[in-house]
Chains A and B, each alone.
Chain A
Amino acid sequence: MHELSVTESILTTVLASAEKHNVTRITKIHLEVGELNDLKAEWIQYYFDTLSKDTLAENAEIIVHSKPSEFTCHDCGDVFALDLKTVSSVSCPACGGNNCSLSGGSEFYIRDMEAI
């Protein structure tokens, strides 16, 4: 259900953009999605194929550019990627401190699209 509202939102945005730019067919849609949002391209594509029937975006390919979860260490300033699914603590690989906070990985936007 969640994927459905996300997909509807993508379709509405690209169709509005297509109209503005006077194109007749959308071929590719590039999303930039932080790892934290855990969006799977194949599911979005599945919903998109159904929702986009008989629109300019029919048959468009959805490409997800994934961004890693990033933390910043407030002690030494190091910025490091971390796979939250596998770690059991958040500590800085450079200085070992655990005064770190999340600074990237929650991106959730449509970057651009290719159209004819």
Chain B
Amino acid sequence: MAKVKLIKIREEILSENKQLADKIRKDLSDKKTTLLNIMSSPGSGKTSLILKTIELLRETFSMAVIEADLDSTVDADKIAGAGIKAVQIETGGFCHVNAAMLEKAADTLDLQSLDLVILENVGNLVCPAQADTGAHINVVILSIPEGDDKPLKYPVIFKGVNAVVLNKTDYLQVAAFNRDKFWEYIRSLNPKAAQFEVSCATGEGTEKWSAWLASQLHTAAE
């Protein structure tokens, strides 16, 4: 009977994806292009926030959008309607964008000429949290109607982002949403995340968000 050997591995699961993501991040940085990954549940306002961001920053920065909404080109059409180059990733039912998909989509863009590429990830608070896309800035949106307890139910996604955007503040009047509690949860999971409250419907708070984003870009005005 052959002897059983115990072989130490100590390697991160999905380490291949992480290595490719690091390479993408570096290649983009070399071109002074910033990749922003926007995540949220379906219907929290990813497309709306992207459209607002385009509206507020298009005079200052050149932008493109990579769309990964499941089996639909509706969102890409909306973005293209705003006069911004939009590439659709056909995820084929995949629950998140990984580094390989992102690389393929980014290859179709003239990165040299772009300051900001925005990735609209698949609407889902679980899977996108675990796959590094190569983004420099990761953001999660939560909307008021989803409830203030969501950071504790989906901690991984809230833990790893650079900013949390609370959207649909125009619903605060009608929803039983405890804002203080929500931000307290966020701070306990991710004390460093920048915090924003916006309403994409009324525009409230979106300028503060876009000003912060602008300050984070590689090509931010000194």
Which A positions have Cβ atoms within 8 angstroms of B? 1-2, 5-6, 9-10, 12-14, 17-18, 21, 23-24, 27, 31, 36-38, 69, 71, 84-85, 87-90, 98, 100-102, 105-106, 108-116
Q: Is B11 positioned at the interface, with any CB of A under 8 Å from its CB? A: yes
Q: How large is the interface on B (under 10, 10 to 19, 20 to 34, 35 or more residues)?
A: 35 or more
Q: Is B189 positioned at the interface, with any CB of A under 8 Å from its CB? A: yes
Pairs across A and B, CB under 8 Å, 20 listed: A1-B127, A2-B126, A2-B130, A6-B14, A13-B11, A23-B7, A31-B13, A38-B126, A88-B152, A89-B181, A90-B188, A100-B188, A101-B189, A102-B159, A106-B156, A109-B13, A112-B9, A113-B6, A115-B7, A116-B2
| Whole-angstrom CA separation of A29 from B188 in the bound complex | 33
**A1 and B94 in contact, given A98-B184, A101-B189, A114-B6 (Cβ under 8 angstroms):** yes
Contacts of B5 in A (CB 8 A): 21, 23, 114-116
Q: Chain B's interface: helix, strand, loop or mixed, by majority?
A: mixed
**A102 and B16 in contact, given A1-B93, A2-B130 (Cβ under 8 angstroms):** no
**Given A109-B11, A113-B9, 20 extra CB contacts under 8 A:** A1-B94, A9-B17, A17-B7, A23-B5, A24-B2, A27-B4, A31-B13, A69-B155, A84-B153, A100-B188, A101-B190, A102-B189, A108-B13, A109-B9, A110-B9, A112-B6, A112-B9, A113-B7, A115-B4, A115-B5
Contact across chains for B13 and A2 when beta carbons are under 8 A apart: no
Contacts of B17 in A (CB 8 A): 5, 9
Closest approach, in angstroms, between the C-beta of B183 and any C-beta of chain A? Answer: 12
Per a CB cutoff under 8 Å, which of A71, A84, A109 touches B10? A109
Which B positions have Cβ atoms within 8 angstroms of A? 2-17, 93-96, 98, 126-127, 130-131, 149, 152-153, 155-156, 159, 181, 184-185, 187-191
Contact across chains for B155 and A110 when beta carbons are under 8 A apart: no
**A102 and B94 in contact, given A9-B16, A85-B153 (Cβ under 8 angstroms):** no
Contacts of B10 in A (CB 8 A): 109-112
| Whole-angstrom CA separation of A88 from B147 in the bound complex | 12
| Whole-angstrom CA separation of A102 from B184 in the bound complex | 12
Closest approach, in angstroms, between the C-beta of B182 and any C-beta of chain A? Answer: 12
Contact across chains for B4 and A111 when beta carbons are under 8 A apart: no
| Whole-angstrom CA separation of A1 from B5 in the bound complex | 32
| Whole-angstrom CA separation of A1 from B127 in the bound complex | 9
Contacts of B188 in A (CB 8 A): 71, 90, 98, 100-102
Closest approach, in angstroms, between the C-beta of B35 and any C-beta of chain A? Answer: 20
Closest approach, in angstroms, between the C-beta of B184 and any C-beta of chain A? Answer: 6
Contacts of B11 in A (CB 8 A): 13, 109-110
Per a CB cutoff under 8 Å, which of B15, B98, B190 touches A5? B98
